[in-house]
Amino acid sequence: MSASPVRVLALIPPMTQLNTPYPSTAYLTGFLRAQGIAAQQEDLALGLVLALFSPEGLRQVRAVIEAEPERPQTARVQLFLDQFDRYVATLAPTMAFLQGRDLTLAHRIASRQFLPEGPRFESLEVYLAEEGDDPLAWAFGALGQQDRARHLATLYLNDLADVLRDAVDPRFEFVRYAESLAAAQPTFDPLAEALAAPHNLVDSTLHRLTLDAVARHAPTVVLISVPFPGAVYGAFRMAQAIKAHHPQVVTVLGGGFVNTELRELAEPRVFDYFDYVTLDAGERPLMALLEHLQGRRSAQRLVRTFVRDEGSGAVRWIHFAEPDVPFEQVGTPTWDGLPLQRYLSLLDMLNPMHRLWSDGRWNKLTVAHGCYWKKCSFCDVSLDYISRYETASAAALVDRIEAIVAETGQTGFHFVDEAAPPKSLKALAQELQRRGTSISWWGNIRFEKSFTPELCQQLADSGCIAISGGLEVASDRLLNLMKKGVSVEQVARVTRSLTDAGILVHAYLMYGFPTQTVQDTVDALEYVRQLFENGCIQSGFWHRFVCTVHSPVGQNPQDYGVSLVPLPPGQFARNDIAFRDPTGVDHDALGVGLKKAIYNYMHGIGLEQDVRNWFDFHVPKTTVKRHTIARALA
């Protein structure tokens, strides 16, 4: 490429989030513009959903079904066909309601006479019907029409997503779209086969949206950021469209998935779609690449970048060591170019804390780069996004906050740190209060003793509405083994201080950690039951432990009493690694009971029951005394 100015287009691939933009393109676009580089951004994850979930999209889905009359139809698809006219008539107004553009529709939706109801609505019957025959009355009471309607509209949208999956693309999901093609996938073959297959309706819609975006902006460089395995297939389909119709446009792949799973990339076929693949924080590699494309830097001076050698066809890793752009200097993200008024506020779970992930348009921002603790043995502590810890001043952070509010008109913030540092949060709260800047915010922390009742109250006074943090295995023995740096009783005191300050608390929980026994798991669930019972936490989620090659467990398994299963040969994704645990526990079977319990606890159900009742097979009685948490709080 000549020394002419570059024009950058940053794209969000499907699927990421529907209620708010994924922040990677906002950060890069803001940074590039601050460097004087022409940069635009678009969210094709949202664009794809809005195109498919429209009256015209439904007509196309029906055409696909009718074009294959011999294909067996599921009950969901048959219901869709039977109620097709109602779906077409109700979809556009319902989408407008979920976008906040037609809130008066809530009354009709809440009546349960407006929307066609498919199998997803059966979940309503699991809730307690404490007021008459209305299973939602306990959650929303006599009022709460907006939330009640939002929940019903979300079930309606999920019904349509199920139809799309049954009739058009079995891989379709709002979040984990075609995830199995990429997650911990050592070989590129499944993805290559999927990309070589004829377009289905989802593919052709994404193809059209991609080419429309390129036509609008005429970029010389397209950046596609892939945060999750569920966005990989969409990203490659987008790059495929660009390469087929605009081969002169340079395509670049980066993002969280790349940073964790493609660190040993050796698959040449990736470069049929992407010219460059960059690792870790994108600012420095991107600036080096743009200088190279303008003829101002040789290829040998690229930074953290994979390329395909033109001569041999092999993948080359190029890294000319340069300091990263300091966190204080990465600038302010911008949402310019993203249709903020078109995102969908969904309410898929009635728990008030859990809804924050899918409901509301949150400005995403980072308080600090990396993790100040970086010791947890299950975490990728060797990678840049954890290991390189840098902070920015409270003044700089509030400057960014105020600039974002001025641009977006939205005062809600989600701080997306791995674990926001207590000192930084205290300074941030003080600066927000000093300036009289009114925002609502939530984020992730470690439940450490620094979060005193006084600090928790100060955070609440500054606008903190919710906090999430890792309780993980809820076992002091295992918390010590994973170097978490907290105890169960300490977590109880911190979470209760947060709750007393009016802050909602979500606990990340983990099962299946090395040497975790059935007794450990039952005891952990009893601790969790007591934390809910004592008002310490309001929400939680059990994650199955996965060993990664970048974590202390993956790098020193002998220290955790396990041995690793060798990774299969492959040139693509390498991250998750199986291990042999001498305990021989069937953690997947236990996980069913754990998830059933937490779902009910979040709705205030079953807190008085013996935790053994949640399992479909015999488990030992808990060894945790029934009032352990209450005594710790006292």
What's 180's DSSP letter? G
Residue 39 scores a pLDDT above 50: yes
Lowest mean pLDDT among 96-100, 115-119, 137-141: 137-141
Per-residue model confidence (pLDDT) at position 137: 67
Per-residue pLDDT at 459: 98
Give ∠ CA 159-364-340 in degrees, rounded to 5: 60
The torsion region of residue 184 among left (phi > 0), alpha (psi -120 to 50) and beta comes to left
Residue pLDDT, tens place only, 125-167: 655 444 445 656 666 665 688 999 999 999 999 999 999 999 9
> How many Å separate Cα 298 from the centre of its chain?
36
Q: Whole-number mean pLDDT of the chain? A: 94
Residue 140 has a pLDDT of 66
At residue 477, the pLDDT reads: 94
pLDDT at residue 540 tops 70: yes
Residue 1 has pLDDT above 60, yes or no: no
Query: What's the pLDDT at 264?
Result: 95
User: What's the one-letter identity of residue 11?
Assistant: L
pLDDT per residue over 163-191, tens digit each? 999 999 999 999 899 999 998 899 999 99
In terms of Cα–Cα distance, which of 57, 151, 144, 150 is closest to 100? 150
Answer with the residue of higher pLDDT: 350 or 85. Answer: 85
Measure the CA–CA gap between 309 and 317, rounded to whole angstroms: 10
Report whether 226 contacts 257 (CB < 8 A): yes
pLDDT number for residue 124: 82
Please give the average per-residue pLDDT across 396-413, as a whole number.
97
**pLDDT value, residue 131:** 41
Share of the chain above pLDDT 90, in %: 91
**pLDDT at residue 254 tops 60:** yes
pLDDT score at 120: 94
Identify the pLDDT of residue 354: 87
How confident is the model over 406-430, as pLDDT tens digits? 999 999 999 999 999 999 999 999 9
Q: Are 437 and 398 in contact (CB under 8 A)?
A: yes
**Is the pLDDT confidence value at 201 over 70?**
yes
Structure confidence at residue 126 (pLDDT): 56
Q: What is the DSSP string of 478-519?
A: HHHHTT----HHHHHHHHHHHHHTT-EEEEEEEE--TT--HH
313-325 tens-digit pLDDT: 999 999 999 999 9
How many secondary structure helices (H) and strands (E) does the chain include? 23, 17
The confidence score (pLDDT) of residue 141 equals 65
Q: pTM to 2 decimals?
A: 0.94
Whole-number pLDDT of residue 128: 44
Tokens of 527: 């601790």
The 3-class SS string of 97-144 reads HHCCCCHHHHHHHHCCCCCCCCHHHHHHHHCCCCECCECCHHHHCCCC
Number of Cβ within a 10 Å radius of residue 218: 11
Instruction: Please compute Rg for the chain using Cα positions.
Output: 25
